[in-house]
Structure formats: C-alpha cells, structure tokens
Amino acid sequence: MLPVVSDMRLSSLPGVLLLVVTLSACGPAVAPLPELEILQNPQVTWLAPIPTDAHILSVSLLPAGTGFGVGQLGTIIKTTDGAKSWSLAARVGQNGLKGVAFGAPQRAIAVGDRGTVARTDNGGETWTAVPSGVAADLRSVAFASPDVVVAVGANGTILRSGDGGRTWQPRVSGVSTTLRSVAWPAPSIAVAVGDDGVVLRSPDEALTWTAVPTGTSAAIRAVTFLDGNTGVAVGGDDRLWQSSRVVLRTGDSGATWSPVGAPSGLRLYGVTAISTTAVVAVGEKGASLRSTDAGRTWQPVEVDKTAWLATVSASGQTLVATGESGKIFRSENGGTKWSNLQKAPPLPAYITAVARPSADVVVVAGNTTIMRSVRGGPFERAKSVNKKYINALAFADPLVGVAAGQDGSMQRTTDGGATWVEVASGTKRFVQGVVFTDARTGIAIGSGWGEGPLLVGTADAGRTWQPVPTVAAREPCGGDRTTGGLALRPSGVGMVLCQGGAVYKTSDHGRTWVETGQSLAASLASIAMLDDRTAVAVGSRGVIFRTDDGGASWARCQSGTYGWLSRVSFADQRRGLIVGWNGLLLSTQDGGKTWQRDPLLTVRGLNALAVDEAGAVIAGNNGLLLWRAWPPNQPAQTLNEEGVRR
C-alpha cells in the first residue's frame, strides 16, 4: 500500500493534478444543506480541541449541574457536571443559535437565526426542529413554566408558546428594533430588552406588550431578575468607536428603570443573577462586573482580557461564561475568580502538514514544531533539531518519513515521527511538497523562493538527496515560479501546478517535463491523481477541475461554494475529500465527478489533509484536528501500481 501523506502543498496518496479549460460541469450542482433539521455526522470525530470552536452565544445551567450552550453552526454543547466539562451534543441545521433555556430538567429550547427553534424533552439526548412561522433571527428564549415560553428577536419579533414550545404564535410588540433578551420576573410578567434602549413589558403571560421608558438610546443586550421585583439590564452603545456601557436597574418588576453608576468602559453582553443580592455581568474584551447589593454598586473582576464574552449563567455559586472561539470560563465562587476550561491546545496554531503513517499514529507539523499522537493519545512534541518553518510531511513507510520547508530544510525520522534528524536536501528552495512513490524513492519540489535545484530526489528513503537531472529548459514552472501542488505516481507520471495557472506533466519520474500549453482560469492550490489519466485540481473561488484523459481536456465540477479550497486527496478511485476555508468539507463517491458538501463542523480554515482507506485526518487553524471516517457500506477499491482497480 502506498503511504498516504498530505500537506499544504501536496497530497501524496494517489498524486496530484491541475488545470482547467473547458466550462462544462462534471455533475449536478451540490445540493444545499437542510436548514431546519437536526444534522448528524457520525463519521466525524473531534481530535482537538473539544468540543467546538464555534462562538457560544447563550448558556443555561440547572442546579443539578446539567447545562446547555448554543452558538454558531447550530452548535449545542452539554455539561452534566456543573460546567466542569462539556461535550458536543448536537448540530441543529447550519443556522447560528442565539438563545437557550430550560423549562424543566428534561425540557429545553434553543432558538436562532432565520426563525430556528429546536426543543428537547429528554435532557438533550435528541433535539427536534420545530417550525416557528417566522424568518427573523431569534435572539433569546425564556420559560415562565414548563408550558409557557416566549422567544424574541429581530424586527421586534415576539413568539409565544403555551404547549412547551411545540407550537408558536406571534405577538404584537409595537416596535421594529431587534429584541435581544427576555426574562420572567414572575409567572405572569415578562420583560424584553433590545436595541435603541427599548424595554417592553407584558403583565399577562406575554400576550400583550407595552414599551417602558429607559432614558437611553444605547442597545440593551441582556436582562435578569434577582427576585420578583428586582432586575438588572446591561448593554452599551452599538457604535464601534464608542465605549459606552449601560447598566439599568428596576425594583418594580420592570415597570420603571433607572441608570446605575457602573464603572465606565467596555460594552456588556450578558448578565445573570446568583442570588437575591448577587449578580454578575460580562462583555467585550473579558469585561466582567460583580454586584453584591442587588445591582446598586459594581466591582470589576478580571476574566480574560483577550476573550469576548457573550453570555453568563449561574447555578448557585457556580458560573459559566462563554463567547468567541468556543472559549468557556468557569467560576466556583460567584464570579470572584475564573478559570479557563478551553485553554489553547498544545498543537501548532497553524498546522501546515499532517500525515498518518500507520493506523495508530498521527503526525502534524506547523511553524517549526512537529507533534505526534499514538493510539489516540495526547499529542506530544517530537524530538527535532530543525528551527525552520515546516511545510511538507511525507512517509515512505510506517516508520520512515521526512519533513521539509523553509530554505530547503529537511528532517528525517525512522521511528514513525517520534525523533527527527537533519539531512541535506540538496537545495535552498522553499520546499512546497514531497512525495514517496515507494519505500525508497521520493521527490521534493521547491518554489521560486530561494536558490538551488527546483527538484531533488532520493533513492534511499530520504537519507540522501540529489538534484533530479531535469532538462533545464523544461523544468516545471520554468524553474523559478512558485509551485502550488505536486503529484508523482509509481508509474512515473506526475503533474505540478505553477503560479499563474500553468500545468506541467512528466512521464519519467520528473526527469523531463512538458507544459500542457493550457493556462488555468483560477489560482489552484492542490491536485490529486487517481490514476495516470484521471486527476482533480482545486483552488480559489470554489473551483474544482477534473480530467480523465491525462490533462488533454478539463471539465469544471460544481462545488456549491465560492470559498477557497485548500487540499484534495483520494483514498481510491471513488472516494475523495476536499477541505477549505471556513470549515468547508466536500466529499465524492464517484471519483470526483460530483461532490457533496458535509455539514459545517467548524468556522476555522481547514489547511491539511491525510486520507487512507479508513478515513481522513483533517487539520485546521488554531490547532484544530478532525477525524472523518468513510460512511458505512462504502468499501475501498484497491489500486494496483498503475492505478487500476483490482
């Protein structure tokens, strides 16, 4: 079996490819993702970090220790131990979720963009998408009882349910501004707050609403009640160049409001009551305020100045605050001291290459760091001596591999990536890609940056490297242009992508190259060869091109996106994956003729890909690693040396 390797510049399973000319489509357009159904993807596992990197915009805790958080991409996370640990519970469509609330220990409702409503009656084991009857973004939801619940959102939207969220009816708000938070000081009294200083109050279980003066025109983003009478609302000026903080207080169930002299500064986005006297608010740049006299006076408490906090919830003295990039902060003493539950992962912030030399080992590289995980264990830093930027990883067999990058730097391992020693690459070019065609033979290609040979090869599994004796006039990319991808098959057929869209092809293991004579209409980043004649290329603006005649002609395939596609790789002649920016993940079951878009699981850019018969390790920004198994009932097709199915 040919080892599977991938990095920023190459995917070295089947190979590589490039090019585009014809405008005909490979297959039908990618079907749009469902909007209002529970999306499950049992093939995907988060390797790091856990549970998610989506902004968590609302959180709710029960006294027993159970809680939910919701956020981008329909994300629902769950805790059962008082917010000490969290797991990814569900993905509700692709719309962002903005609010979540419990109506009973087993009942909860989440609301979000485009009228999204989802409910559970079994503690989050399953979630059901519920028609809301509106298309407006919903921002907040709150229960008066297990049956009576109200949701508010954009354009003054107010929805009410009397059957625990199974059905919803719109109510007249009398305003067109966005309503951002709703709370119940008493079973019959509801209060909603929103932009432009709006506060609405209902005395009849959210059936009718009237506006209440507040004395401010700034956005009011969150409201909470400490008892049946005392409440606090917080917010701030929406204009980015302002830093106007707003804190309001009521002592008559929201009938009247007065400003509070809170410390000036950053806007506040969330507030929660801890007891009848204690309340905590959070906001941008880690802003946090704490009051122990029912909101009359406030003291600042530092959480994390680098974190934007969208929400806070309390269960007794235990608090949890969440916000951007899945960050979760927890306090056990009523907000006096906070700990970060989602510390930065030990992996490189920007993973540029990933390899799976065997079923038990995953190796990743980024910046100057190489890390390794064995049998699903934690990633540990490998022993390496190189201090140059690493761009490519490739393994000749489960034990022997190389890592290469800046200034032609190259390291070699003989123990599956645990330790690395420096070897001479024979070039000072920035190495863009490395491919092994068997256990001893490999080739590395450089870019226009640096000096020395563009191509170097090895015949002893990477111990030594020599310039590939190419004909100078026919060196790929003219010998001095940046390469975007490399593929070389055991048969000696290979392709390389060049800056500006040129494509070069070799039939003799890279010794001589011929320009195809065609210039691509887009900037391409990665190519994969399924056999000597079939190849797929991907790149900017969602372009996917495919050839089945060795590059003589190319057809454009439908991707369903205009986003940047970073890498493409195939496990066999049918099954392949493409990854890209903003969490894009496309899969094919017919050799790249048609592509399907997986439900989004992250908002991070996906940069590197290592595919084999079992699945794929996918790497992204901020130390993100995913494992995607192939769906069941899709057996691999074994390829012989010429790429023909056995």
Q: Is the pLDDT of residue 517 over 90?
A: no
Read off the pLDDT of residues 386-443 as tens digits, 9 standing for 90 and up.
Answer: 788 999 999 999 999 999 999 999 999 999 999 999 999 999 998 988 999 999 999 9
Distance of CA 47 to the CA centre of its chain: 13
374-403 CB burial, b ≥16 within 10 A, e <16 = beeeebeebebebebebbbbbbbbbbbbbb
Is residue 120 within 8 A of residue 111, CB to CB? The reply is no
Give the confidence band of 188 by pLDDT, cuts at 50, 70, 90. very high
- 3-state DSSP of 454-522: CEEEECCCCCCCEECCCCHHHCHHHHCCCEEEEEECCCCCEEEEECCCEEEEECCCCCCCEEEEEECCC
Give the confidence band of 41 by pLDDT, cuts at 50, 70, 90. low
Tell me which of 162-176, 485-499, 508-522 is least confident. Answer: 508-522
**CATH fit for domain 5-30+349-629, picks 2.40.30.10, 1.20.970.10, 2.130.10.10, 3.40.50.300:** 2.130.10.10
Dig out the tokens for 511 from the structure: 């010794």
Spell out the domain ranges in the chain: 5-30+349-629
| 486-514 average pLDDT score | 84
Detail the DSSP E strand segments found in 535-581.
535-539, 544-547, 555-557, 565-570, 576-580
pTM score above 0.75? no
500-530 CB burial, b ≥16 within 10 A, e <16 = ebbbbbbbebbebbeebebebebebbbbbbb
Q: What is the dihedral of CA 590, 591, 597, 601, to 10 degrees?
A: 120
Using CA atoms, how far apart are residues 284 and 310, in angstroms rounded to an integer?
8
Using CA atoms, how far apart are residues 157 and 137, in angstroms rounded to an integer?
9
Which residue, 478, 410, 411, is CA-closest to 447?
478
pLDDT higher at 169 or 75: 169
Read off the pLDDT of residues 152-177 as tens digits, 9 standing for 90 and up.
Answer: 999 999 999 999 999 999 999 999 99
Would you state the pLDDT for residue 46?
Answer: 58
Q: What is the largest CA-CA distance in the chain?
A: 87
Detail the DSSP E strand segments found in 293-360.
299-300, 309-315, 318-323, 328-331, 339-340, 353-358
